[in-house]
Structure 1
Amino acid sequence: MKTKTIRTPYDYHLLVQQLEEHGKTVYGPAFKIEEIDRPVVLKLLAYFLQDEEVAQSEGLDLRKGVFLTGKIGCGKTSLITLMRPLSADAYMPHMVSCREISFEFSKIGYDIISRYSRNAFFPYTDTPRVHCFDDLGVEQPVNHWGNSCNVMAEILLSRYDLWISNQMITHVTTNLNSQELEETYGNRLRSRMRGMFNLIAFNSDSIDKRI
């Protein structure tokens, strides 16, 4: 059986080694990329390097963002953080905690939604900023002057519209499964997520890196 030759300028075996070394520098000498996590790492490398051939072979659409899901402690946040230096400036994600966004809403109100949606452009340009919303689902319901709002749902719905109109890329990390997402944010948002994200999931047997 003939297999398709994938053309790529990158040595992924070497990249994984370098990523692990960088991880040791950032997170300590115990950092290690486990064998079970390598399929996820390969997908993330292909995506953030914008390697079209490998991304296509991995079923990734480079016009969409990354929806990275896995159980608590599997290393979602650390891997996205380590991918940032590999990205071109326009694609480098700004990491922001969903929990911090909920706290900001309680202080300053609905302007926080604009900050991460229609105002999320580089100054004096029409180039949208890439944001990675970390730990979607851990934020608490909050009020601002008695007004309740599902802040992350509103931000993601707005960014979906901006993805359609301005190619605004969004990334998310979460511990939630599809049913929990729908229960928390509603079917309207979940259906749009299918359009704006590449789903990348850790293996359920991936170990807790915090131990």
Structure 2
Amino acid sequence: MKTKAIRSPYDYYLLFRQLEEHGKTIYGPKFLLHDVDRPVVIKLLAYFLQDEAIAAVEGIDLHKGILLTGKIGCGKTSLISLIRALAPESYRPHMISCRQISFEFSKIGYDVISRYSTEAFFPYTNVPKVHCFDDLGVEQTVNYWGNNCNVMGEILLSRYDLFISNKMITHVTTNLNSQELEEHYGNRLRSRMRAMFNLLPFHADSIDKRQ
């Protein structure tokens, strides 16, 4: 791997092996890190380990979040769930399904938006919580007392403001490409997402891990 020629405090070969073993424990003995996925795994490792040397070479901004994209079944959720465990607690994201958030909104309304934005701080501090919103785009526009709301769009816009003011970090996984994201959430949010995220796409040849 090209990372061998770069000074880093981490042994990425060993990390790959540890991730595979942990993946087998969690997801079963057939779990593998495929060669075609190695570039995105390296980037995720460098990010969550806050490895400045590798992140610089891979073009990763450690002050932004991660937008992990790829086709259905390529392993976005399982991979980021495994790697997040390596991160220091302050960088370790809480995983939450966008679909679950839409269900929460249908029950309790607009308080859900503040729950994941203006109220997403550790108690009695101004330290923001890191969230990873899983499967962005599968949620539906929700109706609450006759009012339709694009819940995730509003949450992400609010977290963008907090990214600017409080350095709040957000991660997202999605099956959607940039054009589909704009169709779902509008150009206003798409332009802010460029500022909020490092774009990490899975390779188009990445296989369906559910098979």
Q: TM-score, normalised by structure 2?
A: 0.97
1:197 aligns with 2:193: no
Report the 3-state secondary structure (helix = DSSP H, G, I; strand = E; otherwise coil) of the residue aligned with 2:117.
coil
Alignment of 1:101-116 (within 5 A): 101-116=101-116
Identity value in percent: 76
Alignment match, 1:96: 96
Is 2:120 the partner of 1:120? yes
Give CA-to-partner distance per residue, 1:116-170, whole Å, 9 cap, x none: 0000000111110000000000001111111110000000000000000000000
Paired residue secondary structure (1:199) = strand
Return the alpha-carbon distance in structure 2 between the equivalents of residues 85 and 197 of structure 1.
20
Structure 1: runs of 5 or more not aligned: none
Using the alignment, how far apart are the partners of 1:193 and 1:10 within structure 2?
30
CA offsets 1:167-201 (integer angstroms, 9 cap, x no match): 00000000001110000000000000000100000
1:30 aligns with 2:52: no
> Does 2:39 align with 1:65?
no
Matches within 5 A, 1:174-189: 174-189=174-189
- Aligned match of 1:136: 136
- Mapped to 2, the partners of 1:161 and 1:174 lie a distance apart of 21
Equivalence map 1:74-85=2 (5 Å):
74-85=74-85
Cα separation, 1, equivalents of 2:118 and 2:52? 29
> Counterpart of 2:208?
208
SS at match of 1:186: helix
Deviations 1:13-69 (A, max 9, x none): 110010000000000001000000000100000000000010010000000000000
Mapped partners of 1:7, 1:159: distance in 2? 34
Name segments (4+ residues, structure 1) moved above 2 Å.
none
CA distance in 2, matches of 1:95, 1:85: 11
RMSD over equivalenced CA pairs, Å? 1.0
Distance in 2 of aligned mates of 1:34 and 1:161: 37
For residue 42 of structure 1, what is the aligned residue in structure 2? 42
Could you list the per-position Cα deviations for residues 69-122 of structure 1 after superposition, in whole angstroms to 9, with x for gaps in the alignment? Answer: 000000000011001210101100000000000010000000000000000000
Residue 177 of structure 2 aligns with an amino acid whose one-letter code is N
Question: Offset at 1:6?
Answer: 2.4
1:10 matches 2:10: yes
Pair 1:21-2:25 in alignment:
no
Task: Name the residue aligned to 1:87.
Answer: 87
Count residues with an aligned counterpart.
208
